[in-house]
Amino acid sequence: MRRIEIDIEGLGIAIAELDNRNPRTADAVWNALPIEGRAMLWGEEVYFDTPIECEDENASPSANAGDISYWVPGHAICIFFGRTQPYSPVNHIGRISEGLEVFSNVEEGDRIVLRRA
C-alpha cells in the first residue's frame, strides 16, 4: 500500500493511502513526490496547483469527505474534508486515513507538502 504524508505547515500532518480507482493518475502523483504547493479553498475542499499533467481517468462529478483527487483542468491536487463537491469532475486517487480534521483549519496560502510516508 502506498501511503503519503500531507504536511500543512504549522497546522499538522495527515496520512493518506493511494488506491486503484484511477491508477495512472495515482502513479503520476506517487512518482512526482514530494510535491509542494500553496493552499486554495473551495468550500470544504483544499486544493493546490502541481506540475503534474494527467488526463481524465474515470473522472467523477462527486466526492466524499476524505477523498484525495486530481483536478485535470487546474493540474491540482484536491482534498475534500466536508460536504463540498468538485467544481468539475475529478480523478480520485486516495483517501485520508488519519488527520482529516486538520484541513478545517487551513487558510489560503498555507504551505502544503506531500511526501511518501
Question: What is the model's pLDDT at position 16?
Answer: 98
Give the Å distances, CA to CA, from 19 to 4, 72, 83, 97: 11, 18, 21, 12
Q: What is the CATH number of the domain that holds 70?
A: 2.40.100.20
Question: What is the model's pLDDT at position 10?
Answer: 95
Closest CA to 57 of 85, 78, 28: 28
Q: Is the pLDDT of residue 15 over 90?
A: yes
Question: What is the model's pLDDT at position 1?
Answer: 85
Average pLDDT over residues 101-117: 97
> Whole domain around residue 18: which residue ranges?
2-116
Q: Is the pLDDT of residue 49 over 90?
A: yes
When divided into structural domains, the chain yields a total of 1
Find the Cα–Cα–Cα–Cα dihedral 77, 28, 98, 74, rounded to 10°. Answer: 0
DSSP string, 23-35: HHHHHHHHHH-SE
DSSP string, 35-56: EEEE-EESSSEEEEE-S-----
Q: What global pTM score does this model have?
A: 0.96
Q: Is the pLDDT of residue 79 over 90?
A: yes
Q: Is the pLDDT of residue 80 over 90?
A: yes
